[in-house]
Structure 1
Amino acid sequence: MYANSADTAQELEVVLVKAGRTKIRYPATLLADDGTRVSVRAPWAGEGVRDFGFVRFEPGDVFTEHYWRDRWYAVKEVRAGDGTLKGWYCDVTRPAVRSGAELVVEDLDLDLWVSADGTDVLRLDEDEFAASGLAERDPGAAAFARSALDELEALARAEGLAGRL
């Protein structure tokens, strides 16, 4: 069930957890929750500009974020303040958990960037993932995480992410 007009303005707080600690929390507007996927929209929640070299996140950017209760990733469409598509930032995560007005997502370090035109598909933070110790602490979760990154990359290369959301 998609959010009806009464739900459209509902605010959620997105809570990103990493290694057992809250990494960031920020308000987001609920766009839809069909029981499997939760979609929200939020302004760039970081402080100032974050320049990754291949993309800059900055005040005014708008993120349309898709989280799943049955998938090990989240996909975030990133647009500049003027509406220009920058691309998609994908986080490998445990499945999302929504409890009331809070959406909790555990970041597992692996990420994927897909440029707006789909020509650049970059696997990110594989060194952080290896250093995290997840493979030793929770081999099953580590296997799901690696599989999720492979799935995201295959989707991005085969048909693009825009058509999959």
Structure 2
Amino acid sequence: MSANSAEAEPAPERVDVVLRKAGRLKIRYPAELLSDDGVRVVVRAEWAGGGARDFGFVRFEPGDVFTEWYWRDRWYAVKEVRDPSGALKGWYCDVTRPAERTGGEVVVEDLDLDLWRSADGRRVLRLDEDEFAASGLRERDPHAAERAEAALDELEELAREDGFGGLLD
């Protein structure tokens, strides 16, 4: 490849991922847009947590790279997590309302339920069910609560079956 052709390559498109919770901003971070087919948006971003965060079952650290899949027709997002050397740590999944992409933003609303699948597939953990129960979503929006619980069940089944293989291809 000549120097001129390398210079002609467009810079990757950037978007901001905006995660809202109970109508408020939880976190906003920049990401590289990998694809958007009209149903699924895929981005890549470095860990945006500001420092290391140890969950007990995994530790997210500066330099970790997240490849994130968001759907406009599904109630969850799947995030593949790799360390700076590229070694797979696992998948962190957020139960969310379907994603919206407007302009330079991918916006999702976190519904408290999460799931973790370790890289080796030995650990599949349902997370934050107590936060979900305390959130009041069942009372405020029973339909959304039902969809959220069904999404967590679906994620767990996918994680145990094939580690999201068919979903993320």
TM-score under structure 1 normalisation? 0.95
Q: Which of the numbers 79, 97, 102 marks the counterpart of 2:100?
A: 97
Aligned to 1:106: 109
CA distance in 2, matches of 1:31, 1:38: 8
Aligned to 1:58: 61
- The structure having more radius of gyration, on CA atoms, is 2
Q: Which of the numbers 45, 58, 64 marks the counterpart of 1:42?
A: 45
Identity of aligned residues (%): 74
Describe the superposition over 1:23-76 as per-residue Cα deviations: whole angstroms up to 9, x where unpaired: 000000000000000000000000111000100000010000000000000000
Aligned to 1:3: none
Q: 1:8 to 1:148 in 2, by over 3 A?
A: farther
**Aligned ranges for residues 140-155 of structure 1 at < 5 Å?**
140-155=143-158
Q: How many matched pairs? A: 161
Describe the superposition over 1:139-159 as per-residue Cα deviations: whole angstroms up to 9, x where unpaired: 000000000000000011112
Q: Which is worse superposed, 74-83 or 155-164?
A: 155-164
The root-mean-square deviation of aligned C-alpha atoms, in Å, is 1.4
CA distance in 1, matches of 2:75, 2:11: 25
Query: 1:54 aligns to what SS in structure 2?
Result: coil
Q: Structure 2 counterpart of 1:32, which letter?
A: S
Q: 1:98 to 1:127 in 2, by over 3 A?
A: same
- Shift in Å, 1:162: 3.3
Q: Which of the numbers 111, 115, 118 marks the counterpart of 2:118?
A: 115
Aligned to 1:130: 133
Aligned to 2:6: none
TM-score under structure 2 normalisation? 0.92
- Shift in Å, 1:119: 1.1
CA distance in 2, matches of 1:51, 1:159: 26
